[in-house]
Structure 1
Amino acid sequence: MWRTTWRSLLAHKLRLALSGLAIVLGVAFVVGTLIFTDTLSKTFNDLFESTAADVNVTRAAAFDQGLEGTGTGGTATYVPAGLVDEIADVEGVAAVEGNVQAEGVYILDADGEVLDTGGAPGIGISWDTEESLSPTTLVDGRAATGPGEVMIDTNSAEDTGYRVGDTITVLTPGPRVEAELVGTFRFGDEGGLAGASLTAFDTTTAQELLSAPGQFTGIGVGAADGVDPDELADRVAAVVGSDYDVKTASEQAESLSSDFSEALQFINIFLLVFAAIALFVGTFIILNTFSMLVAQRTRELALLRALGASRGQVTRSVLGEALVVGLVGSTLGLAAGYGIAAGLRALFGSFGLTLDGDLVLSTDTVLWAYAVGVLVTLVSAYVPARRAARMPPVAAMRDDVVTAQRGLRRRTVVGAVLAAVGIAALVGGTLSDDGGTGASLVGLGALALILGATALSPVLAVPFLRSVGALLPRIWGTTGRLAQENAVRNPRRTAATASALMIGLALVSAFSVIGASTNASIDELVTGSVRAEFVVSSAVQVPFSGDVAAELAEVDGVDAIMPLRWGQAQLDGRTSFLTAVDPDSLDRSIELSLVDGSTERLGGNGLLVDESTADGRGWAVGDTVEVLTRDGRQQELVVRGVFESNQVIGSTVVSLDSLTAFGGVALDRFLFVDLADDVAPADVRPQLEEVTDAYPVVDLKDRGEFSDEQKSSVDQLLLLINAMLVLSVLIAALGIVNTLAMSVIERTREIGLLRAVGLGRAQLRRMVRLEAVVISIYGAVLGLVLGTLFGVALSRSLADQGITELVVPLPRMAVFLLVAAVIGVLAAVGPARRAARLKVLDAIAQT
C-alpha cells in the first residue's frame, strides 16, 4: 500500500506542489518569527550580562517602573558618592567604583547631523577606571580626564569617521558639548550595542552633565579572589540598608532579561498572528487540493477497495501523501524562514533595533517548524482521506463515476449560528464603555464571523455567481456563460478557493478603515486641541535638552513656550504615567474641555485628570491623591480639574515642579511655541529654525506638519501590517491557481469536446480567465464587506482611546476589488495555457 501511495505522489507531484508551497510560506513565517525573537533575546541577554559587575548597587525602586533603559518612565534615582567608601570597607571587596549612565546623549557627525540610531538610545556614561568592573575595553587613544575630553564606542567612530584627536560635538540633556575625542572603546566582547551609541566622560564631567554633583546612578563592586558573589552581596546589603537594591551580576542580568522578555512578547505575538493567518489560509488550499485529488481518483481508490484494501489503508494512503507534502513543505519552510528572519532583522534594524552576531536557530524552532507544517497538512487532508475510505468498491465497476454532492443544510445552520454570534459580539464591542473589553469582543466577533462566512460561503456563492456572473454572457457570449456555469458547478470548491482570498482582504480592508479613521481623528485632535502655532519634537522620538526651550523663548515674537514632559509615580497605589506641563502657558497652548474645576491651580500640588480616569479611580475635584515616588518618598496631590479625553495632553497632568519633585528628568518630549498676537508665523519661523538647527535631534513643525508627523507613524504601522498580510493574499492566489489547474485536469474530456464542437483556443483561455476573475471577485466582495464591518466596529470600540472619527476609504476599497480581479487574471495564466494546449482527440479519449 505504501508503494501505491508513493506512486500516487509521483503521479500528482505537480498538483501537490502548490499545496506544498502554501505550507512553505506559512512555516517560513513561523520559523522566521521564532529565529528573529530568539536572536533578539540573545542579543540583549548578552548585552545585559556584559554590563554587570560582580555586585551592583542601585537605589531601590518603590514600585515597578517597567523596562528600564527605554526612556518611558522619565524619572531618575541616584546613589550618593559617600556610599562608595562605605562599601569599600566591606570584607571581600576587591574593587568598588561609582558609575553614571543616562540617555539623551547624541553624537553629531561631521555634517552636524545626529548620528542615526534609528530610534535606539544615545547613552552617556562615566568611564570606569577600574578595569575589572568595566564592560568596556579601550581600543585606541586614552581615557578622558577632563571636561574638554570625550570618548565614543568603536561602532559610532566607524559610522561617523571620527578618529582620536578630532574635535566632536555631543548633545547632552544639559549643555551642548564640544570636546576632543581622546579615545575609542569596545563594549563587551564583540562590541554589540543593539544600535545604541555610547559616549564616555570622566566621572566628574559625567556627574555634572548627566546626573548631579556627588551623585551616581549605580555602584559596581568586584569580589576578591575566592569570595562568592552571593555572599558578598549579602554583606554589602547589610551595610547599605533597605533603601538600595543589591544584586549579583547574574541576578541583575536575569532581572533585565525578564523585563525585556515581557516586552518581547508583544513583538513575538504580533508576528506569530500573521503566521497563523498564513497557515489558516493555507489550510483551504490543502483541503481543496486533496478533495479534488480524491474526487479525480474515485475509480482508482474504489478499485483498491475492491482488491482488498481496507478503509484504514485507504485513509492512511491519502494521509501518507499529506505527510510527505507536510515534511517537504516544512523542510523548505525552515530554510525560507531563515531568510525571513534575516529580512526581519534588516527591517527592525532600520528602526534602530540592530541585532549583532549570527541568527539563532534553536532545536525548538526546528521542532515547531515540522510540528506546525505536518500537523496543518494532516488536519487539512483528514476529511478528504475519510471521504476516500468510504468509497464503495462497487463504484469501480461503473464506466462513469459521479461524486455525490452532500447537502449544505448542516453548513448553513452552523454558519448562520456563527455569523449571529459574530454580529452580536461586534455590536457588543461597539457599545462597550471599556475600550479593552470592546476590542476583545470585536476580535471574538471577527473570528466568529469569518468562520461563519466560511461555512456559509458555498450557500452564498450560487446566488452571487449567478447574479454577478450574468454579466459574463452579455459581454463575452458563450465563453462567458461557460465560465459562469463552471464557477457555479461546484460551490464548495469555489467557496473554499474564494475563502482564502476573503480572509486576506477582510484583514487588509479592516486595517484600512482603522488607519483612515485614526488619521482623521489625529487631524481633528490637532485642529481642536493644539492652539500653539508651532510644535517642537524629537526627530528620533527621544527626550531632549531643556536648553532648546530656553533659546526659543529668546526669539522675538515668541509669547510663551510650554514644555511637555513625561514621568511616572504611583497615585493611590496604582502606577500612572504623568504628563507635566507649565501651568502658566497650558491654556495658551492646549485647548482642554473642562468638565469640572479649572486649570488655574495646577501649579504646586495640583492634578488634572480626564473623565475616564476620574470615573475609574473615583476621583472628583478637591480630592486628595496619595503619591509614591520611585525613590519611596510620599507626597500628596489635589485634583483641581476634570477634562474630556485629550490624547495630546494624556490622562493625568501635573506641573513641571511636581514632576521634578517626583524625581522626573528635566528632558522635554514636546515644546509648544506660542507667538504674540501681532506676529505672523511665517515671519518668525526662520528665527525659530535657526535655533532648532543647532539641535539636530529636534524638528520644528506647524500644526499641519505636526499632524502629518503623527499620521506618518500610523501609516508606517499599517504599511508593515499590510506587507505581512500580503503573504496571506499571495497564498490565496496560489489557491486559485491550484484550483484552476486541477479543474482543467478534471475537465479534460469536457474541454476536448468543447474544442471539437468549435470552441477556439483563445475562447478557451478566456473562459478559464473569466472563471478565475469571478471567483476572485466573489472572495474579494466577501472580504471587503467583512473587513469594513470589523474596521467600523473596532474603530467605534476604541473611541475613548482617541479614534473619534469614522472613515471608510471607499476609493481604496475599489482598488482592492480591482487588485482581486487582477489576481484572478494572473492566477489563470498557467491553467488557461495548459487547457488551450490540450490535443482534442487525446482529451476526448481521457476517462
Structure 2
Amino acid sequence: MSGTRASLRLSMAGLRTHKRRFAGTFFAVLLGVAFLGGTLVMGDTLRSSFDAMFGRATGGTDAVVRGDDMITTPGESFGTRRSVPTRLADEIGRMPGVAAAEPRIEGPGQLLDEDGEPVGGGGPPTLAGNWIADKDLNSYQIAEGRAPERSGEAVVNRGAAKAGGLHIGDTTTVRTPDPLKVTIVGISTFGGEDAMGQTTFTALTRADAEKHLTAEPGRATSIQVRAGPGESQEELVKALTPALPEGIEAVTGQEVTEENQDQIAGQFLSGFTAGLLGFAGVAMLVATFSIYNTFAIVVAQRTRDNALLRAIGATRRQIVGQTLAEALVVAVVASLAGLAGALGIAAGLQALFPAVGFPFPDGDLVVSGLSLALPFATGVLVCLASALAPAIRAGRTAPLAALRETAVDGSGSSRVRALTGGLLIAAGAGLTVYGAVPGGDSADPSVTLTVAGAVVTLAAFVVLGPVASAYAVRILGAPLRRMNGRLARRNALRSPKRTAATATALMIGVAVVSLFTVFGASLKSTMDQTVSRAFAGDVAVRVPAFGPESGALSPKVAPAVAKLPEVEHALGLGTGVARVDGDGRALTVTDPERMGDVLDLGAVEGSLAGLGTTGVAVSQSEADDHGWQVGSTARFTFTDGEKQPFTVRAVYDQADLAGDYVLTREAWQPHRMQDSDSLVAVAFRDGVSEADGKAAVEGVAERYGNPEVQTRDEFAESSAAGVDMMLTLVYAMLALAVLIALLGIANTLTLAVHERTRELGLLRAVGQTRAQLRAMVRWESVLVAAFGTVGGLTLGAFLGWAMTKATDSSGDGVFTVPPVQLSIVALVGITAGALAAWRPSRRAARLDVLGAIATE
C-alpha cells in the first residue's frame, strides 16, 4: 500500500470517528464560500438584467444627436452636455434614410406622493421629461392609461406610482423645480421594468417640458433618431454627421446603450460588488483563524496518536498528508455545500433589495463558471492554507512523544514573539500614522500608505496575540474571584496561542465594525462642524438628496421668503458646471455680495462686490492649486461651448457650503440649462423665535412644492443621513463575519472540552456541580470573547482615526469616538461569547463522571 493511500485511509477514518471536531470548520468554510459565491452570482445577475433592460428600452433608437462635449465634475457619475435645438428634429426627420426623429427633453423633476412627500425621499435620481410619441424611440412604454395630451397631464413610471401610492386620475405636484400641478393619466414601464433602477420619471407634454425643464423653449437634451428600412446605425450616423452644426454630434444607438450600461450598471455594480466582496473577504479572513485553530487543537489532541504512528514506521510526509487530506475533504464538501448556499444567498438578495427600496431589474439568476470556480477554489485554498501549519507541526511529532503527557504552550512568554510583534506594531503604526498625517506642509494624506500600515498592524496583532492574551486574560479575569472564574482564567491561560487564535477571529470582525463606527461618527461630526461653522443662517430650505448637492429647488423661493416680516436675509444658492482650465468643476450661482449675510466664508481677500459678468470668486484651496491670486485670470468653458476668461476678484477661506467657484446669476444666465437652487439660507430678524420664523418660512415653501425647512441641527443631521444608511448596510454585511467568529469560539470550546474530558471528570468527582462546570466553561468563553472584543475595539478605533485623517484632504475633519455605539459593540461581543459557550458548556456538564475519568 502506498503512503498516499495509507494517509487517505487514516484521514477518512479520523473524519468518521471525530465528525464533531470538524463541524465548526465545515460551517466556517460553507458560510464564507456561500457569501462570496452569492455576491458574484448576484453581480452577474444584476449586470445581465441591466443589460437586457437597457437593450429593450433603447433597442428602437438607431442614432442619438447630442452635444459633443460632456463636462463631469468630481464626485459625479453623469456629466452635463450642451442642449440641442429642437428644430433639428424636424430637419433630421426630412433627411433620406430617417424614419422618425423626436426631441428628448429631460431635467430634474421631483414627484410628490399622495401625502405631499417626495417619492423615494432623498435617494434615487428624480427626473422629468417629455413623452415621446414614437414608441420605438421612447424608452418608456404605456402599461396603463394613455400618454399626456394636454398641459398639466403626466405619465409616471410604475415603480414611482407604487412607492407614492399614486393612481390614474390622481392629482399631484412635480417640482421642475417650480411646482407643477399634474393629473396622472398613464403608468409607464422602462424596458419592461417598473423603473430604470431606482429612478423616478414623470413624462409631460412637450410644451410643458420645454416650459419647465429648459432655460428657454426650443432646446432639447438630445434628438432620438430611428432609421428607415435597410439603413444600418453606422450608415445613419455617417449620413447625419455632415448636416449637424458645430459642437453637435451623432452617435449610434448601440453606443449610447453601452454608455448607459457602463455608467449605470457598470459603475454602480462595480462599487456594489466590490463592497460585498470586501465583506466576503473579511468573512473568509475570520474563517481562516477559526479553521487554523480547529486543526491546531486536533493536532495537539492527536499528539500521542501521531507519535505511535511514527513509532511503527509512519513517515513525516504521511502524517502531514493525513492532516492535509482531512482538511481537503472538509474543504471540498463544505465548499460544494457553500456553492448551493451561494445560489440561495443570491436569490435572497434578489428578493431582499426590492423589499428595502432597491428595485433592481427582475431576471433569472445568472451563474457563470467563474462565479462557481472562484468561491470553490477560495474555500479549498483557505482551508488547506489554514491547516498547513498544524499539519507540518504534526509531521514533526517525535515517536517518544507517545510517552509524554501534555505539551506545554510557552508562546505566551516567548521573547522572540514579543520582540517581533513589537517591531511589527511599531512599523505598522508608524506607516499608518505617516499615511494619515504625512510630514511637511505640502504633503497630502495617502490612503495607500494608510491601508498598507493597517495590514502590517493587523499582522502585528496576530503575532503578538499569544503574548498579549497572557496579560489580557489575567487582567480581564481578575474580578472573577470565585473558583469557577479562577479555573476559567487558568484554562484560558493554559494555551495562549489557542486563546489568541480564537479571539483573533472575533477581533477582526469587531475591529472592522468599530472602524466603520468611528469613521461614520467622525464624518457626522465633520458635517455638523461644517454646518455650524459655515452656515450663519437660522433655517435652510432644501430638497435633501444624496451626493454632493441637494435636489432642485425653485429659484423663486428665496425672493418670496425674503419678503416675510420675520426674515432679515434670504439667499438662494444655485448650481452650474463648467470646465475651468481644462477640469470639470461645480459652480455656485448666487448674489456674492450677500453671501456673508448667511454664510461664513472666513477671511476674504479682494471683494465679493461687483463681480458682474466677468468676475469670479474662488476658494483658497483652488487658488493655491492653480497659482491664482486676486487679479489672476481663470479660463472657463461652458456646456454650450462658449469660452470666457474670468478675473479672480475674491479669494475666500471657507468653501464648505459656498463651493470652490462663485459666479453671479448674470454671468451664468447665458449658459444655464434649467434654473434651480440647491439651498436657500435664511436669517431671521432680531427677536424672532426659531419656531415662529420656521413656521413662516414653511408657509411660503408650501407654495413651491413643499421643500423641507430645516433648523441648523436638522440641516446637519439631514446632511449626514447617508452615513447612517452606510453604517446600517455595513453592520448587516459584517454580521456574517461575527457569526463565523462565534462559530470558531464555540468549536474551540467544544474541542477543548473533549481535550479536557478526564480533567472535567475529576473536577466533578471532587464535588464540582454541573452548574459550576457550565459556569466555568461560560466564563472561559467570555474571557476569550472579551480579549477579542477589547483588541478589536482598540484596533478599530485606531484604524478609524487613520481612515478619517487619510480621507481628509482639507484638514478640517473631526475625529470622534462614539462611546455609546462602541459600548454597544463591546456588549454585543462579550454577550455573543457567552452565547457561543451555551452548547459546549451543556455538553461538558452532561459528561459521565466515571467514563470521563477513564478517558485517556
TM-score, normalisation: structure 2: 0.91
Residue type matched to 1:331 in 2?
Answer: L
The answer to whether the 8 A contact 1:646-1:802 is kept is: no
Match of 1:133 among 130, 134, 137: 137
Gapped regions of structure 1 (runs ≥ 5): none
Distance 2:793 2:193 in 1: 50
SS of residue paired to 2:136:
helix
1:684 aligns with 2:728: no
Mark the CA change 1:149 to 1:508 in structure 2 (over 3 Å): closer, same or farther: closer
Question: Superposed, which structure 2 residues align to 1:658-737 within 5 Å?
Answer: 658-695=667-704, 698-737=707-746
Mark the CA change 1:637 to 1:716 in structure 2 (over 3 Å): closer, same or farther: same
Using the TM superposition, give the Cα deviation of residue 343 of structure 1 relative to its aligned residue in structure 2, in angstroms: 5.5
Deviations, residues 115-157 of structure 1 (Å, cap 9, x unaligned): 3366222322222222332333334444322314333334444
SS of residue paired to 2:796:
helix
Question: Superposed, which structure 2 residues align to 1:790-829 within 5 Å?
Answer: 790-801=799-810, 804-829=813-838
Distance 1:327 1:773 in 2: 32
Residue type matched to 1:58 in 2?
Answer: V
Using the TM superposition, give the Cα deviation of residue 161 of structure 1 relative to its aligned residue in structure 2, in angstroms: 5.6
Deviations, residues 383-403 of structure 1 (Å, cap 9, x unaligned): 11222233334545x374647
Using the TM superposition, give the Cα deviation of residue 232 of structure 1 relative to its aligned residue in structure 2, in angstroms: 1.5
Distance 2:604 2:129 in 1: 46
Using the TM superposition, give the Cα deviation of residue 589 of structure 1 relative to its aligned residue in structure 2, in angstroms: 0.9
The answer to whether the 8 A contact 2:504-2:788 is kept is: yes
Mark the CA change 1:293 to 1:591 in structure 2 (over 3 Å): closer, same or farther: same
SS of residue paired to 1:146:
coil
1:200 paired residue number: 203
1:62 paired residue number: 69
Mark the CA change 1:113 to 1:453 in structure 2 (over 3 Å): closer, same or farther: closer
Residue type matched to 2:761 in 1?
Answer: G
Structure 1 window deviating more from structure 2 (400-409 vs 28-37): it is 400-409
Q: Percent identity?
A: 37
Distance 1:209 1:589 in 2: 29
The answer to whether the 8 A contact 1:610-1:652 is kept is: yes
1:531 aligns with 2:539: no
Using the TM superposition, give the Cα deviation of residue 291 of structure 1 relative to its aligned residue in structure 2, in angstroms: 1.0
SS of residue paired to 2:541:
strand
Match of 1:583 among 592, 599, 603: 592
Using the TM superposition, give the Cα deviation of residue 345 of structure 1 relative to its aligned residue in structure 2, in angstroms: 5.0
Mark the CA change 1:99 to 1:522 in structure 2 (over 3 Å): closer, same or farther: closer
Distance 1:696 1:373 in 2: 54
Gapped regions of structure 2 (runs ≥ 5): 1-5
Question: Superposed, which structure 2 residues align to 1:335-414 within 5 Å?
Answer: 335-341=340-346, 344=349, 349=354, 352-358=357-363, 360-363=365-368, 364-393=370-399, 395-396=401-402, 398=403, 400=405, 402=407, 408=414, 411-414=417-420
1:19 aligns with 2:21: no
Deviations, residues 710-737 of structure 1 (Å, cap 9, x unaligned): 2333233223323333332222222211
Distance 2:387 2:104 in 1: 62
Deviations, residues 674-717 of structure 1 (Å, cap 9, x unaligned): 23345433323223212333455621011122122223332332
Structure 1 window deviating more from structure 2 (450-459 vs 335-344): it is 335-344
1:79 paired residue number: 84
The answer to whether the 8 A contact 1:39-1:355 is kept is: no
Residue type matched to 1:183 in 2?
Answer: G
Match of 2:100 among 92, 95, 98: 95
Structure 1 window deviating more from structure 2 (365-374 vs 343-352): it is 343-352
Distance 2:157 2:765 in 1: 78
Match of 1:8 among 14, 17, 20: 14
Residue type matched to 2:64 in 1?
Answer: V
Structure 1 window deviating more from structure 2 (258-267 vs 562-571): it is 258-267
1:119 aligns with 2:123: yes
Match of 2:468 among 419, 436, 460: 460
The answer to whether the 8 A contact 1:569-1:577 is kept is: yes
1:774 paired residue number: 783
Mark the CA change 1:163 to 1:645 in structure 2 (over 3 Å): closer, same or farther: closer
Match of 1:631 among 640, 643, 667: 640
2:192 paired residue number: 189
Using the TM superposition, give the Cα deviation of residue 844 of structure 1 relative to its aligned residue in structure 2, in angstroms: 1.3
Distance 1:555 1:348 in 2: 45
Deviations, residues 624-680 of structure 1 (Å, cap 9, x unaligned): 011122332211222223332442223333333444444353222211122334543
Residue type matched to 1:441 in 2?
Answer: L
SS of residue paired to 2:20:
helix
Distance 1:104 1:376 in 2: 50
Mark the CA change 1:93 to 1:817 in structure 2 (over 3 Å): closer, same or farther: closer
1:269 aligns with 2:278: no
The answer to whether the 8 A contact 2:573-2:589 is kept is: yes
Residue type matched to 1:768 in 2?
Answer: V
TM-score, normalisation: structure 1: 0.92
Residue type matched to 1:187 in 2?
Answer: F
Residue type matched to 2:792 in 1?
Answer: G
1:445 paired residue number: 453
Residue type matched to 2:459 in 1?
Answer: L
Using the TM superposition, give the Cα deviation of residue 586 of structure 1 relative to its aligned residue in structure 2, in angstroms: 0.7
Distance 1:38 1:552 in 2: 50
The answer to whether the 8 A contact 2:570-2:682 is kept is: yes
Mark the CA change 1:352 to 1:215 in structure 2 (over 3 Å): closer, same or farther: farther
Mark the CA change 1:111 to 1:238 in structure 2 (over 3 Å): closer, same or farther: same
Mark the CA change 1:617 to 1:205 in structure 2 (over 3 Å): closer, same or farther: same
1:619 paired residue number: 628
Distance 2:382 2:137 in 1: 52
Mark the CA change 1:186 to 1:720 in structure 2 (over 3 Å): closer, same or farther: closer
Distance 1:160 1:630 in 2: 34
1:28 paired residue number: 34
Question: Superposed, which structure 2 residues align to 1:743-754 within 5 Å?
Answer: 743-754=752-763
Mark the CA change 1:167 to 1:511 in structure 2 (over 3 Å): closer, same or farther: closer
The answer to whether the 8 A contact 2:213-2:674 is kept is: no
The answer to whether the 8 A contact 1:59-1:631 is kept is: no
Residue type matched to 2:674 in 1?
Answer: V
Distance 1:25 1:741 in 2: 20
Structure 1 window deviating more from structure 2 (87-96 vs 285-294): it is 87-96
1:231 paired residue number: 235
Mark the CA change 1:767 to 1:651 in structure 2 (over 3 Å): closer, same or farther: same
Structure 1 window deviating more from structure 2 (800-809 vs 635-644): it is 800-809
Distance 1:445 1:217 in 2: 48
1:51 aligns with 2:62: no
| CA RMSD of superposed structures (Å) | 2.9
Using the TM superposition, give the Cα deviation of residue 557 of structure 1 relative to its aligned residue in structure 2, in angstroms: 2.6
The answer to whether the 8 A contact 1:5-1:317 is kept is: yes
1:562 paired residue number: 571
Residue type matched to 1:18 in 2?
Answer: G
SS of residue paired to 1:691:
helix
SS of residue paired to 1:692:
helix
Distance 1:350 1:620 in 2: 53
Mark the CA change 1:469 to 1:124 in structure 2 (over 3 Å): closer, same or farther: closer
The answer to whether the 8 A contact 1:195-1:349 is kept is: no
Mark the CA change 1:379 to 1:595 in structure 2 (over 3 Å): closer, same or farther: farther
Residue type matched to 1:754 in 2?
Answer: L
The answer to whether the 8 A contact 1:118-1:349 is kept is: no
Mark the CA change 1:711 to 1:133 in structure 2 (over 3 Å): closer, same or farther: closer
Question: Superposed, which structure 2 residues align to 1:265-304 within 5 Å?
Answer: 265-304=270-309
Using the TM superposition, give the Cα deviation of residue 340 of structure 1 relative to its aligned residue in structure 2, in angstroms: 4.2
